[in-house]
Structure 1
Amino acid sequence: MGYAEVNGVRFWYETHGSGRPLVLLHGGFGAVEMFAAIRPVLAERRRVVSVDLPGHGRTADVDRPLRYESMADDVAALIVHLGLAPADVLGFSLGGGVALRLAIQHRELLRRLVVVSAPCRRQGWFPEVLAGMPEPDEAAGERMRGTPPEQLYQAVAPRPQDWPRLWAKTGELLRREYDWSSEVATLSTPTLLVFADADSVRLAHVVEFFGLLGGGHRDGGWDGTGRPDARLAVLPGLTHYDIVDSPALPAVVLPFLTHTLNTPA
């Protein structure tokens, strides 16, 4: 574990286990600790590289807006710097958007992609979730004082005073419209989509997202030869807020990462 400086960002990363690399990208206001519950299981089979995204955890903020596209470029540079390519990448929520942009912008660096609880267009979130997205600002950050994410940030961040700034920059990111549907439809990276059955992302959008990747258009056949390389898992009894803590997540991720697909990867 330690720091690596790429693209002007001093990234914190941690490595656990051995074998083919699996890069983990956490959700908003989180850090590598977000994967603490499932990382040991993943590390039994993979070399797990957990990354604190810009402005999060131990990775200090830089003087530029938070954007999925620029964070994807930063993570791509980190993958090259650490010699991880071709890597498998798993991203959750905010990190899922970064992982998806990474596959779009730098597909040559990826072997397989896992997107957890993240849509491919902003309107994929439930309306009530979208309605709450204008809220993140410095005042909201102040109201979150004393919560577990804020306590972790205070314990590990290089500049703990940046907590309200992180909320303001994240809020500005979340209010931006985006629709990556046309780019998703061109992806060749084998992709697993994982959602909770009570996620913050609409189930209708989950089906749409899967369809863009070639899933759900035909019967897979008795021998599975008609099955697309894209995979979809909807995990029962979970929400957007506890899916990364569930043993059900590595239970669907590890087979996808290790099984042979129709297209060589």
Structure 2
Amino acid sequence: MSYAEVNGLRLWHEAHGSGRPLVLLHGGYGAAESFAPLLPAFAGRRRVVTVDLQGHGRTADVDRPLRFESMADDVAALIRHLGLGEADVLGYSLGGGVALRLAIQHPALVRRLVVVSAPCRSGGWYPEVLAAMAAQDAATGERMRGTPPHELYARIAPRPQDWPALWAKTGELLRRDYDWSAQVAALANPTLLVFADADSVPTSHVAEFFGLLGGGHRDAGWDGSDRPASRLAVLPGLTHYEMLDSPALPAAVLPFLTAPARPPQ
């Protein structure tokens, strides 16, 4: 458990287990502790590296806006700093956007990518979710005091008084429009998309996202030879907010990470 000096940021990270590296990126207002329910399943098979992104958890904020692109650069610098080579990367929600940008911006550092409950364009969220995101600001952060995310932040953040500022900067990020569809279609990294069947992203966008990765265009054939390199998992009976508490997530992810690089011929 330590800090890495990257891009003018003291980036908190911690490692568990051994084996091929798997980097886990938490969602908005979360921290490495977000993965605590799933850590035994992953660390039993992998060297798991959890990261507290800019302004989250034990990583203090710096004088720059929150951007998916800059946070992806931070994670890339950490992978190089730790000498991980090609790492598998899993990101959830906000961290899913960071993980996706990492694969787009630094493809040589990502062996396999897992995007959990995050769209590839801002319009991929349900309209009511977009509206709630747009309303996030410092006042919202004040109203969220006493909630479990705030209690965690107050306990571990270097400057607990920055909680409202984190909400302000996150709201500014989430109000920005983006569409990474073209870059997703160009990705060569095998990718697993994981969504809940009652997620904050409609299944129509899930199908669109998977289609950009080469999925859902044709039958795989009796021998599976036309199976796409990327995969899709829709976990039943879950919502966006339950994904990191469910053993169904590692059950879907681990076979993807250990499968042969190419489908059998």
Q: Same fold (TM over 0.5)?
A: yes
Number of residues paired by the alignment?
A: 264
Alignment of 1:11-26 (within 5 A): 11-26=11-26
**One-letter amino acid matched to 2:199:** D
Asked if 1:156 corresponds to 2:156, the answer is: yes
**One-letter amino acid matched to 2:232:** L
Alignment-derived partner of residue 168 in structure 1 = 168
Alignment-derived partner of residue 192 in structure 1 = 192
Alignment of 1:82-121 (within 5 A): 82-121=82-121
Please list every run of at least 4 consecutive aligned residues from structure 1 whose deviation after the TM superposition is greater than 2 angstroms.
Answer: none
Q: Distance in 1 between matches of 2:207 and 2:143?
A: 36
- Mapped contact 1:138–1:167 kept (Cα < 8 A): yes
Unaligned runs of 5+ in 2: none
Q: Distance in 2 between matches of 1:242 and 1:5?
A: 33
Alignment-derived partner of residue 205 in structure 1 = 205
- CA shift, 1:261, in A, is 3.0
- Mapped contact 2:90–2:99 kept (Cα < 8 A): yes
> SS of the counterpart of 2:91?
strand
Alignment-derived partner of residue 122 in structure 2 = 122
Asked if 1:135 corresponds to 2:135, the answer is: yes
- Mapped contact 1:90–1:113 kept (Cα < 8 A): yes
Summarize the Cα distance change of 1:146–1:76 in structure 2 as closer, same or farther, 3 Å threshold: same
**One-letter amino acid matched to 1:226:** D
Provide the identity percentage.
76
Q: Distance in 2 between matches of 1:85 and 1:161?
A: 37
- Mapped contact 1:196–1:238 kept (Cα < 8 A): yes
- Mapped contact 1:60–1:159 kept (Cα < 8 A): yes
- CA shift, 1:62, in A, is 0.6
- CA shift, 1:122, in A, is 0.4
- Mapped contact 2:41–2:250 kept (Cα < 8 A): yes
Unaligned runs of 5+ in 1: none
**One-letter amino acid matched to 1:43:** A
- Mapped contact 2:3–2:12 kept (Cα < 8 A): yes
Q: Deviations over 1:165-210 (max 9, x none)?
A: 0000000000000000001000000000000000001110000000
The two structures have a TM-score, normalised by structure 1, of: 0.98
> SS of the counterpart of 1:11?
strand
Q: Distance in 1 between matches of 2:83 and 2:96?
A: 22
> SS of the counterpart of 2:102?
helix
RMSD: 1.0
Alignment-derived partner of residue 245 in structure 1 = 245
Q: Distance in 1 between matches of 2:263 and 2:96?
A: 23
Q: Distance in 1 between matches of 2:256 and 2:8?
A: 34
